[in-house]
């Protein structure tokens, strides 16, 4: 059996409305999920979640396709309609048109459930009149039966052992029109869908349509009152069973005593009243000393399968008016004959235990949750019920069991939000100050950036204008930057590439220079030891190479001078002769002690060589 109710993950907004209204807390709200989940085994099919959801995230199992298949099967199919139709279909001016609209869908027969109600009411009268010290709870409402079976199993034996009007009517239909006749119940209750699955044999109900599903089928097949003729309900016709949509209608159908002084039955309806009545019956039946006639909804005319926004007392009026109208032409003798004919049906039923109560978690876990939500000092039954639970303790139990989370506590959430707002304000203040500081830093950074750009442009310009070749490479021996002198040194191929890729940026040094040169770059990258003034032959030139570390093991630079270039040659000769003078002078100083005045003559001789070379340059 598929799940009766479900919640759409996409539509759910986690407002907890369904949790608050669920009478048995069959809806989980996990902390790690952003949607509620219905626990099928715990659900009693009341439909409270469906009617309260503000975003229509809750839906129920549709039977429309199932019914269409039944109608196409070729079998005789009887629609049995709950008497709430008069309150639901106020837009249809005549019930006879309504009957014909249903037949237009393909139904062979359209019957009222009122006759089944009359039969069931007689069984209740027998049960109450034959009092043997045991008080009963009516079982007309399937939600009440499910509530007691799952959450008050001690009261299962107090459920009146009588089938519902839907099942009683199915028995009548099978006897009247044949065992092979398919039966589809049309009514205001969604839990009837699951109830129908529990019966077979002459009590079989093949499918259940809600009033809303029936309206949808009318729209789908474009069935309108204005296009159809009149048609009466098929036999058997009921008597006062048409009053069942009003809570005490069951009692009035058979004249069961409702007098406050002499009557033995208490009737109540509506979620809160029913829950309270069951709790009080469970603990004080011998004090109350009354049978309970209970309806979860505000009468069947306000069931969850009806149109939303229906007005209870207008619907109630329509039900009473419809009953009076039918009674004007009621054939009592015919009805009595049919009652006699069908009085031999077995209307007894047995209800089963289906205990879904959850054991209370350890007290320390409950206490821990109460401390978290700051409700540790509250009385046991205290609570605002905004979370959907009757007390803070019940809520703490649900949190301990994983059915709820602490954010569902309104006070706790509001306090956290207030603290969050305070923290947010303080953070905003700090952010505002940081923003001002960032603006100031941005101004400084912009100034420094402009200075750096100017410096970079200056350095780049200087690099380009330096006569020596300059190149910077990365750890993969790829060129990061180079100047025109380096490109000219490499030759025509490099000059052509430079026109496409300025500065040869990204070029592999290994494709531009021979192994004995680029290997020096690799050595410096690996060892971080600089190479200074290394003379190397390249093509027809003598190069003086200095390779130095810019960033360890990552970036190195090199200065390369062509020793055959006139300006380099002159400079180098002077430099090297000066180096010779310095070296010899050091030697002369050491020998001076032995040779005396010979040192000054050597110095004069070398100086004259330098002077002569310089004068020669000037003449050239």
**Structure confidence at residue 48 as a pLDDT band (50, 70, 90):** very high
Arithmetic mean of pLDDT, 587-595: 49
What's the start-to-end Cα distance of the chain, in Å?
113
pLDDT digit string (tens) for 417-438? Answer: 666 677 778 888 888 888 888 8
440 lies in a domain?
no
Q: Distance between CA 582 and CA 512 in Å, rounded?
A: 38
Together in a domain, 200 and 284:
yes
Domain edge (last residue) among 289, 306, 341: 341
Q: Distance between CA 214 and CA 585 in Å, rounded?
A: 121
Q: Distance between CA 588 and CA 244 in Å, rounded?
A: 136
Three-state DSSP class for residue 236 = coil
- Return all residues near 325 (Cβ < 8 A) that are at least 6 apart: none
Three-state DSSP class for residue 265 = strand
What is the DSSP secondary structure assignment for residue 110, as one 8-state letter? E
The proportion of the chain whose per-residue pLDDT surpasses 70, expressed as a percent, equals 85
Q: Which two tokens stand for residue 21?
A: 């209204």
Q: Which residues pair with 38 in a beta bridge?
A: 27
145 lies in a domain?
yes
pLDDT digit string (tens) for 108-123? Answer: 999 999 999 999 999 9
* Most confident of the following: 1-5, 207-211, 383-387: 207-211
User: In whole angstroms, how far apart are CA 228 and each of 5, 98, 110, 156, 233?
Assistant: 35, 9, 15, 47, 15
Together in a domain, 178 and 161:
yes
Cα dihedral 215, 86, 340, 166, rounded to 10, equals 40
Together in a domain, 22 and 111:
no
Together in a domain, 80 and 130:
yes
Domain edge (last residue) among 308, 341, 374: 341
Q: Distance between CA 460 and CA 468 in Å, rounded?
A: 14
Helices (H) and strands (E) in the chain, counts: 22, 15
Together in a domain, 196 and 95:
yes
Domain edge (last residue) among 280, 306, 341: 341
pLDDT digit string (tens) for 57-76? Answer: 999 999 999 999 999 999 99
> What integer pLDDT is reported at residue 353 of this predicted model?
93
Share in percent of the chain as helix, strand, coil (round to 5): 50, 15, 35
Q: What residue numbers bound the domain in which 590 lies?
A: 569-619
Q: Which two tokens stand for residue 514?
A: 């021979």
b (16+ CB within 10 A) / e for 173-208: bbebbeeebbbbbbbbbbbbbbbbeebeeebbbbbb
Q: Distance between CA 282 and CA 276 in Å, rounded?
A: 10
Cα dihedral 61, 49, 400, 389, rounded to 10, equals -160
In the predicted structure, residue 17 carries a pLDDT above the cut 80: yes
CATH number at residue 532: 3.30.450.20
500 lies in a domain?
yes
Arithmetic mean of pLDDT, 216-232: 92
Arithmetic mean of pLDDT, 432-448: 83
Together in a domain, 493 and 589:
no
188 lies in a domain?
yes
In the predicted structure, residue 287 carries a pLDDT above the cut 60: yes
**Structure confidence at residue 480 as a pLDDT band (50, 70, 90):** confident
pLDDT digit string (tens) for 533-559? Answer: 888 888 777 888 889 898 888 999 888
412 lies in a domain?
no
> What integer pLDDT is reported at residue 593 of this predicted model?
46
In the predicted structure, residue 467 carries a pLDDT above the cut 70: yes
The values of phi and psi at residue 291, to 5°, are: -80, 150
Together in a domain, 577 and 536:
no
Beta strand 27-28 with 479-482 is unpaired
> What integer pLDDT is reported at residue 148 of this predicted model?
97
> What integer pLDDT is reported at residue 435 of this predicted model?
84
403 lies in a domain?
no
Together in a domain, 162 and 39:
no
Write down the H helix ranges in 466-512: 484-490, 492-500
Together in a domain, 44 and 179:
no
Mean pLDDT of the chain: 85
CB 560 within 8 A of CB 469: yes
Together in a domain, 234 and 246:
yes
Together in a domain, 66 and 54:
no
Arithmetic mean of pLDDT, 174-198: 96
Three-state DSSP class for residue 231 = coil
Three-state DSSP class for residue 549 = strand
Domain count for the chain = 4
Together in a domain, 26 and 170:
no
Q: Distance between CA 320 and CA 299 in Å, rounded?
A: 13
In the predicted structure, residue 302 carries a pLDDT above the cut 70: yes
> What integer pLDDT is reported at residue 608 of this predicted model?
54
**Structure confidence at residue 452 as a pLDDT band (50, 70, 90):** low
380 lies in a domain?
no
Nearest Cα neighbor of 393 from 378, 372, 403, 408 is 378
CATH number at residue 6: 3.30.70.20
Q: Which two tokens stand for residue 206?
A: 């093949």
Nearest Cα neighbor of 239 from 314, 312, 328 is 328
> What integer pLDDT is reported at residue 210 of this predicted model?
97
In the predicted structure, residue 292 carries a pLDDT above the cut 90: yes
396 lies in a domain?
no
């Amino acid at each position: 059996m598929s799940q009766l109710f479900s919640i759409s993950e996409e539509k759910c907004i986690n407002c907890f409305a369904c949790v608050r209204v669920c009478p048995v807390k069959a809806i989980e709200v996990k902390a790690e999920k952003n949607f509620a989940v219905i626990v099928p085994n715990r659900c009693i099919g009341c439909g409270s979640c469906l009617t309260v959801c503000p975003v229509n995230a809750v839906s129920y199992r549709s039977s429309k396709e199932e019914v269409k298949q039944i109608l196409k099967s070729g079998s005789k199919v009887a629609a049995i309609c709950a008497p709430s139709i008069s309150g639901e279909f106020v837009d249809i001016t005549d019930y006879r048109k309504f009957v014909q609209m249903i037949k237009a869908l393909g139904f062979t027969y359209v019957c009222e459930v009122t006759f089944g109600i009359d039969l069931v009411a007689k069984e209740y009268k027998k049960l109450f009149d034959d009092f043997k010290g045991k008080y009963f709870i009516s079982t007309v409402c399937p939600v009440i039966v499910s509530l007691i079976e799952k959450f008050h199993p001690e009261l299962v034996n107090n459920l009146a052992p009588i089938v519902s009007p839907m099942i009683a009517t199915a028995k009548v239909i099978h006897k009247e029109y044949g065992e092979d006749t398919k039966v589809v119940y049309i009514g205001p209750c969604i839990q009837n869908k699951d109830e129908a699955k529990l019966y077979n044999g002459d009590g079989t109900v093949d499918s259940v349509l809600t009033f809303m599903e029936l309206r949808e089928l009318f729209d789908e097949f474009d069935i309108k009152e204005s296009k159809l003729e009149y048609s009466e309900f098929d036999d058997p016709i009921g008597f006062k069973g048409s009053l069942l949509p009003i809570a005490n209608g069951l009692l009035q159908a058979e004249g069961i005593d409702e007098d406050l002084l002499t009557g033995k039955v208490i009737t109540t309806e509506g979620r809160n009243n029913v829950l309270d009545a069951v709790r009080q019956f469970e603990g004080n039946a011998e004090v109350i000393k009354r049978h309970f006639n209970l309806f979860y909804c505000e009468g069947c005319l306000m069931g969850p399968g009806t149109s939303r926004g229906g007005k209870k007392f207008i619907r109630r009026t329509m039900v009473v008016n419809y009953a009076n109208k039918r009674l004007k032409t009621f054939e009592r003798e015919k009805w009595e004959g049919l009652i006699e004919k069908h009085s031999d049906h077995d209307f007894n039923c047995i209800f089963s235990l289906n205990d879904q109560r959850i054991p209370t978690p350890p007290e320390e876990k409950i206490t821990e949750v109460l401390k978290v939500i700051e409700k540790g000092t509250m009385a046991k039954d205290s609570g605002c019920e905004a979370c959907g639970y009757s007390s803070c303790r019940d809520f703490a139990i649900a949190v301990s069991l994983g059915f709820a989370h602490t954010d569902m506590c309104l006070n706790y959430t509001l306090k956290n939000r207030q603290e969050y707002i305070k923290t947010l304000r303080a953070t905003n203040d700090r952010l505002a100050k940081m923003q001002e500081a960032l603006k100031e830093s941005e101004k400084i950074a912009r100034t420094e950036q402009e200075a750096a750009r100017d410096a970079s442009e200056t350095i780049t310009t200087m690099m380009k204008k330096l006569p020596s070749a300059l190149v910077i490479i990365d750890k993969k021996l790829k060129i990061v930057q180079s100047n025109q002198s380096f490109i000219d040194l490499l030759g025509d191929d490099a000059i052509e590439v430079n026109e496409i890729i300025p500065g040869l940026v990204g070029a592999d040094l290994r494709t531009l220079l021979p192994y004995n040169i680029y290997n020096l770059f690799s050595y410096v990258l690996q060892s971080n030891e600089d190479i200074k003034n290394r003379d190397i032959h390249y093509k027809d030139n003598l190069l003086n190479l200095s390779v130095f570390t810019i960033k360890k093991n990552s970036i190195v630079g090199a200065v390369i001078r062509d020793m055959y270039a006139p300006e380099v040659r002159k400079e180098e000769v002077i430099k090297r002769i000066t180096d010779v003078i310095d070296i010899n002078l050091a030697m002369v100083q050491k020998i001076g002690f032995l040779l005396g005045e010979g040192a000054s003559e050597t110095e004069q001789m070398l100086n004259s060589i330098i002077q002569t070379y310089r004068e020669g340059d000037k003449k050239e």
